[in-house]
Amino acid sequence: MNANAMATPKKYFHDHFVLLLLSINVFLAIADSIYILVRLGTSHGSGYIVQYRPSLGISAYQAGSVLELFSFVGFAVIVLVTNTTISLRAYKIHRQLAVTILCLGILLLLLTIIISNALLVLH
């Protein structure tokens, strides 16, 4: 094995800015998951708005089940794992590339929170 390949994860996890971005990613993924689970646990009913399609006119809101809203939790976990893995691999190439990937993960998790909140408010 290459000595540089073993040193990269050590450098990656010792980089304070990378750790800050990873912590923000983990916090947002957990916050999104808890928020969705709490909102689904406190609301009573079976019909949830899961899609909004403005091109459909009067039937723009599409109803769905709780399982479709649980997909937001799965999506947050997938984003967290994928961005961390890609960022770790990209750190070998360039540090700023890894930082950019983590920042885009934060943006994606924020958009997940905003969209899931908008759909859960429509319930």
**Whole-angstrom Cα distance, residue 47 to residue 84?**
35
Residue 42 has pLDDT above 60, yes or no: yes
Compute and round to an integer the Cα radius of gyration of the chain.
Answer: 18
Q: What pLDDT score was predicted for residue 2?
A: 57
Q: What pLDDT score was predicted for residue 20?
A: 96
Instruction: Evaluate whether 80 touches 101 at the Cβ level (below 8 Å).
Output: no
Please choose, from the candidates 117, 85, 83, 80, the residue with its C-alpha nearest in 3D space to the C-alpha of residue 100: 83
Instruction: Write out pLDDT tens, residues 46-98.
Output: 667 777 777 766 667 777 777 888 888 999 999 999 999 999 999 999 999 99
The pTM assigned to this predicted structure is 0.81
